[in-house]
Amino acid sequence: MYYVYIIFSKKDGKLYIGFAPDLKIRLTKHHNGFVQATKYRRPLQLIHYEVYINIQDARHREIFLKGGKGHEEIKVQLKDTLRKIKYQYI
**Domain boundaries in the chain?**
2-89
Please answer whether residues 10 and 44 qualify as being in contact, where contact means their C-beta atoms are separated by less than 8 angstroms: yes
Tell which CATH architecture fits domain 2-89.
Answer: 3-Layer(aba) Sandwich (3.40)
Helix 68-77 × helix 79-89 angle, to 10°: 80
3-state secondary structure of 32: coil
Model confidence at 88: pLDDT above 70: no
* CB 74 within 8 Å of CB 48: yes
Model confidence, pTM:
0.91
What confidence tens digit (pLDDT) does each residue in 8-28 have?
998 998 999 999 999 999 999
Q: What is the pLDDT of residues 41-74, one digit of tens each?
A: 999 999 999 999 999 999 999 999 999 999 999 9
Distance CA 67, CA 51 (A): 19
pLDDT at 5 over 60: yes
